[in-house]
Amino acid sequence: EKRRRTRRDGAARDEDHELEPERGEAGVGVGRVDEGEAGGLREGSGAEEFADALREAVAADGVSLEVGMTQLGGHAIPYMTGDSPIGKKETYEDTAAVLSRMADAVTARVKSRDQVVGLARTATIPIINALDDFAHPMQMLADMLTMAEHCRGSFDADLDGLVVAFVGDLENNVTYDLMRSAALMGMTIHLAGPPSCTIEAEVLAECADLAPDAVQRFETAEAAVAGADVVYADSWMSYGIDAQARAARFDALLPFQVTTDLMRLAKPGAKFMNCLPAMRGEEQTADVIDGPQSIVFDQAENRLHAQKALLSLLIHGTVA
């Protein structure tokens, strides 16, 4: 069930439908679904447990996971790994083995794909990749839901034939998973970024195996955006970017900034997306992200709905 509380026009509105299945230091959290709560994750006996591993302090991620578990009748308690032995005195494999005895699922927002693999290696419960350096699958669930909502007019519509343009930094987890999603969902993705951006060969091979023509790279933002249904931008200054590198990075990425002039090259009615956080004046101008084509806040809200569906599916095998 999805309940949209606010819309861009300010009108309150409820929409019910069946969803299709998805802090400065690292953290892990444990939660429980209390017995006797109606409409939650509880099944007959005992309580459901949930663990939430977070690294960066991103409000949309932490809040959506915690609110989602609460709405499902459960608890999610972030536990910052800066205050724990994980990755130092305790391996990720040992941490997963312990959490498997206390929780029903774990989400991991970490810096390296190796950390997610380590958790999954010994876990006997679902390990949900909330973000690593190679993928951002939970964001993709929200993004696909948002595209279906705004570009197809129905939450359960297919996305076959949709053209998404991503402009900016091409060496990041969001770009990689947008490429994978396009190949999986029958879309085409147009990419444009500085020549220095090198997409990992493994990602290109994955996409080519799924759909050989799904990923197309262009030299300019204008060529990539022409005729697109969706224009997507992401932060230029990802976590861990050295302060001394910011100026050179900004200059290299500036030709790929999303402006109102660039948006005019997309299809009439094209939508603008950014997974947030966003910097006005960097990856997009303020008039784009705050303008009528922007759907970034619906996109952010859909993290909650998609993640609730994913948790329900993984813990109980059904999306209610």
Asked whether 28 and 53 are in contact (CB, 8 A), the reply is yes
Cβ count within 10 A of residue 258: 25
Report the run of H or E that residue 190 belongs to, with start and end. Answer: strand 188-192
198: three-class secondary structure by DSSP: coil
Q: What is the DSSP string of 118-187?
A: HHHHH-SS-EEEEE-SS--HHHHHHHHHHHHHHHSSSTT---TT-EEEEES--SSHHHHHHHHHHHHHT-
- Is 8 annotated in the active site? no
- Is 197 annotated in the active site? no
Q: Looking at 42, 180, 303, 305, which residue is catalytic?
A: 303
Contacts of 259 (CB under 8 A, 6+ apart): 284, 285, 287, 288
Q: Looking at 109, 150, 180, 249, which residue is catalytic?
A: 109
Six token digits for residue 68: 């989602």
CA distance 83 to 87: 11
On the question of a cis peptide bond just before residue 277, with omega within 30 degrees of 0, the verdict is yes
- Is 234 annotated in the active site? yes
Q: Looking at 104, 143, 275, 298, which residue is catalytic?
A: 275
Q: Looking at 32, 136, 150, 305, which residue is catalytic?
A: 136
CA distance 207 to 299: 24
- Is 293 annotated in the active site? no
CA distance 211 to 176: 14
Asked whether 132 and 173 are in contact (CB, 8 A), the reply is yes
CA distance 261 to 244: 30
- Is 303 annotated in the active site? yes
Q: Looking at 61, 104, 115, 139, which residue is catalytic?
A: 139
| Beta strands 271-274 and 230-233, pairing class | parallel
Q: Looking at 52, 133, 234, 298, which residue is catalytic?
A: 234
- Is 305 annotated in the active site? no
- The set of catalytic residues is 109, 136, 139, 234, 275, 303
